Chain A
Amino acid sequence: MNGAYYITAKALAEAGFDNIPEELVSSKHMIYSSPATLDFNSPGAKGFGVKRAGLVVPESVMLLVAPGCCGRNTALLNELGYNDKFFYLMLDDTDIVTGRYLKKIPKACAEITEELDYTPSAVMICVTCVDALLGTDMERVCRSSAEACGVPCVPAYMYALTREKRLPPMGLARKSIYSLLEPQKRRSNECAIMGFFSALDDRCEIYELLKRAGIKKVHEIGRCKTFEEYKQISRANFSLVLNSEARAAAQDMEKRLGIPFIELTRLYRLSKIHNQYRLLGQAIGAELDDSEFYDEAFDTIEQFKARHGEVSFAVGECLNADSFELALALCEYGFRVAEIYGTVGERNFVFIKKLAEVSPETRIYSNLSPTMMNYERECEINVCIGTDAAYYHKDLPSVSWSGEEQPFGHRAVTILFKELDTAVTEGRAVKI
């Protein structure tokens, strides 16, 4: 039996992006659904998978059209109050062979809208690998369904088979949820924040900075309680895209609604955050003075270091950060990062190269590798960040850093280090 596979940052950087070892490439091996990976291995899984994401549109309901197995774990969402929002059109083998279920979808939508004691804003029709393979024309199905039930029907593609495509399921989901917006007169003092299904943390400084720049209203889909509020998003003068998976949605909004977008990245290196705000200010024609937030984050890091020393971290990927960028930030702040459990891609390889310079011995593991079922700790780790890292080290202090309120900017760094301080001081671990 092999131990868990890992490669050091130095060795990986030297090998280069074109020579990533097979154990770090998910298409080259079986996938281990470690308890740590379950919340992202499936686009229908916990957190905001396609199913829950589709229902971000206020007052919408979802019809899942699939074999029973695809909708089974949806019951997990019942705990979050989604019981009355999901409906299932169950496919059998004859449905799949003959395609007869396509005619049932409009009827099902009509039956659902009749059953409800309110008129939903939309029926999100969620389809799965079956329709990915059959090549179902969902636009057409949705048109027929909308005619049958009298409310807009929107496709939600839960295509696990296409997870590594240019437009993966979560990118398509983002595009779908903004597709009900209609053109209207834009307002110069309003903007939209895109990228997440839930809202940014209220403490995030971006609100204050935008306010100082004259923005009076920031639209976020995660804050919309009603469909009326949702429709106001298209009043935005511009969009800020904080997650690259929302790029396709933003491009679509630019094309359909004329709303241009600016892409920002969630970072944990203060100097880079500052630089990003400077560039944003230039783009919108305002000077964004982020110095107080920068200083606050810097001081929090220094206080943490003074109290706990140069601790050694394990950084996972079930968290609100890019694992490698966060690890790089921690190293640049003077801490050690012993291990990272992450997915290496083209976008984050640049961080790995920099990490190799400041922390060449950092071990990089893939949560998805079958060898991870044999994982055992072999080096010194003091504290973990991420639910997956916490799973591997249940005996160590940890923070999950995967809450629904999305951290961003300097305040993300401040809040993270405050949570880390509490975890280390109290020896508190994430409950797995």
Chain B
Amino acid sequence: MSTLLKHISPLAPDDSGACSVLYEMGGIVVICDAGGCAGNVCGFDEPRWHFKRSALFSAGLRDMDAILGRDDRLVEKLVKVTKQVDAEFTAIVGTPVPAVIATDFHALERMSERRSGLPCIAIPTDGTRLYDYGEQLAYTELFRRFAEDGHEPKKGRLGILGATPLNTGLIYSDSLKEAAKEMGYDEAVCFGLDSGLDEVKRAAECERLLVISPSGIKAAEYLNKRFGTPFEVSYPCLSEDVKQSVSTLSGKKVLVINQQFAANALRDEIHGCEVDCATWFMLDKRYAAGNDFRIKDENVLRERIEQNGYDVIISDPDLWRAMKGHDAQLIPFPHYAVSAELSEIRNKN
């Protein structure tokens, strides 16, 4: 059965992705849930929770709130918290509960804005999709609502999209900023990582955009259309450990599994091999090679591995259980959205 996971745990969901983008924006972020989804985000998918303070709350919905559609109570609680915690905006992130009762997120936005006096954005995630979808929604909504006209592009300023821990395993932007300098830029802003709403407002100041995950493409296209900012895709933050682990490969048939741009970047590091990339997440055909593929479920993964006879598979170790019975060499390439492991390499068991 294609929707049955027998070997791996569920991957980071869309609500976690939305929260990841909004985490450092300085807003009050409310996960519209009963408590469990917020627990998943704060206790598992958001490694910054223990290092960087953020006003990320659960709406604490109860069955009668959902059954009776008591949106007014939700707004009342939201307004209350705006009086307790300083914030520049509010955000409401969807989960399965509002999806089941068909919550009108636009109405919630309007009610919240009217009552709190703060801008409100609603991200209609439902917990059934993957994190990159939630990130995409959050990025585009942020720039749509808050990016300001009237800022001139500054020479040497690079804007980086897709820099979330779920994509990179990074919780600070130092290595990305360093990479930007090596690329010849004077300064870099990683939207949502060590940067807040001000940088979003002044997005037009970026001379160029670097998109490091497919989840940032739509926002880049939006900024390109609105401000004319050019963008390119790349992933300049591969860890040295990962690069080292593939440096001796030669004459092999290799499969790299990660988010698309990270996988592509590692492919560029592998020489003298036939390399395919695959991802459980978004696959943008514009940046894919002929044999690259999207993994829809565990069966697809096993079938493709069987069919293509890979000698080496480079992926998050949490996926290895789904490859049981295949004798390829396994090399770890952690992906936070899979295993919630930060960027360090884990040894093969």
A interface residues, Cβ below 8 angstroms from B: 1-2, 26-33, 35, 38-39, 41-46, 66-76, 78, 83, 86-93, 95-96, 101, 104, 107-108, 111-112, 115, 128-130, 132-134, 158-165, 368, 370-371, 373-374, 432
Q: Mark B74-86, 1 if CB is under 8 A from A, else 0.
A: 0001101101111
- Residues of A near B3 (CB, < 8 A) are 89-92, 95, 101, 104
Select which of A1, A27, A74 is within 8 A of B10 by beta carbon. A74
Whether A41 touches B1, Cβ cut-off 8 Å, given contacts A27-B60, A33-B57, A129-B97, is no
Select which of B34, B45, B50, B57 is within 8 A of A35 by beta carbon. B50
Interface of A (DSSP majority class): helix
Q: Mark B288-323, 1 if CB is under 8 A from A, else 0.
A: 000000000000000000000000000000100100
- Residues of B near A43 (CB, < 8 A) are 35-36
Please, how many angstroms separate the alpha-carbon atoms of A46 and B9 in the complex? Answer: 16
Measured CB to CB, the nearest residue on chain B to A82 is B9
- Residues of A near B78 (CB, < 8 A) are 30
**B99, A96: Cβ atoms under 8 Å?**
yes
Q: Mark B128-139, 1 if CB is under 8 A from A, else 0.
A: 111000000000
20 pairs, CB–CB < 8 Å, chain A vs chain B: A1-B86, A32-B57, A33-B39, A42-B39, A44-B36, A72-B40, A76-B43, A87-B5, A89-B1, A92-B128, A95-B3, A111-B1, A112-B4, A112-B6, A128-B36, A129-B34, A129-B66, A129-B97, A163-B62, A368-B60
Please, how many angstroms separate the alpha-carbon atoms of A237 and B311 in the complex? Answer: 61
User: Is B53 at the interface (CB under 8 A from chain A)?
Assistant: yes
**B38, A31: Cβ atoms under 8 Å?**
yes
Measured CB to CB, the nearest residue on chain A to B64 is A161
**B81, A88: Cβ atoms under 8 Å?**
no
How far is the CB of A54 from the nearest CB of chain B, in Å? 15
Please, how many angstroms separate the alpha-carbon atoms of A189 and B110 in the complex? Answer: 66
**A96, B128: Cβ atoms under 8 Å?**
yes
**B43, A38: Cβ atoms under 8 Å?**
yes
- Of A42, A45, A92, most buried by chain B (CB within 10 Å of CB) is A42
**A-B pairs, 7 with minimum CB distance:** A42-B39, A69-B127, A69-B13, A160-B34, A30-B57, A68-B10, A38-B43
Whether A370 touches B57, Cβ cut-off 8 Å, given contacts A42-B40, A93-B126, is yes
User: Is B343 at the interface (CB under 8 A from chain A)?
Assistant: no
- Residues of B near A75 (CB, < 8 A) are 9, 44, 318, 339-340
Please, how many angstroms separate the alpha-carbon atoms of A370 and B87 in the complex? Answer: 13
- Residues of A near B96 (CB, < 8 A) are 66-67, 69-70, 96, 128-130
- Residues of A near B126 (CB, < 8 A) are 67, 93
**A370, B34: Cβ atoms under 8 Å?**
no
Select which of A29, A74, A160 is within 8 A of B81 by beta carbon. A29
Select which of B14, B80, B127 is within 8 A of A29 by beta carbon. B80
- Residues of A near B83 (CB, < 8 A) are 2
**B45, A42: Cβ atoms under 8 Å?**
no
- Of A39, A68, A161, most buried by chain B (CB within 10 Å of CB) is A68
User: Is B183 at the interface (CB under 8 A from chain A)?
Assistant: no
- Residues of A near B100 (CB, < 8 A) are 96, 129-130, 133-134
Whether A30 touches B81, Cβ cut-off 8 Å, given contacts A104-B3, A162-B63, is yes
Measured CB to CB, the nearest residue on chain B to A108 is B4
How far is the CB of A368 from the nearest CB of chain B, in Å? 8
Measured CB to CB, the nearest residue on chain A to B46 is A33
**B5, A72: Cβ atoms under 8 Å?**
no
Please, how many angstroms separate the alpha-carbon atoms of A3 and B299 in the complex? Answer: 52
**A133, B63: Cβ atoms under 8 Å?**
yes
**B61, A161: Cβ atoms under 8 Å?**
yes
- Residues of A near B128 (CB, < 8 A) are 67-69, 90-93, 96
User: Is B15 at the interface (CB under 8 A from chain A)?
Assistant: yes
- Residues of B near A30 (CB, < 8 A) are 30, 57-60, 77-78, 80-81
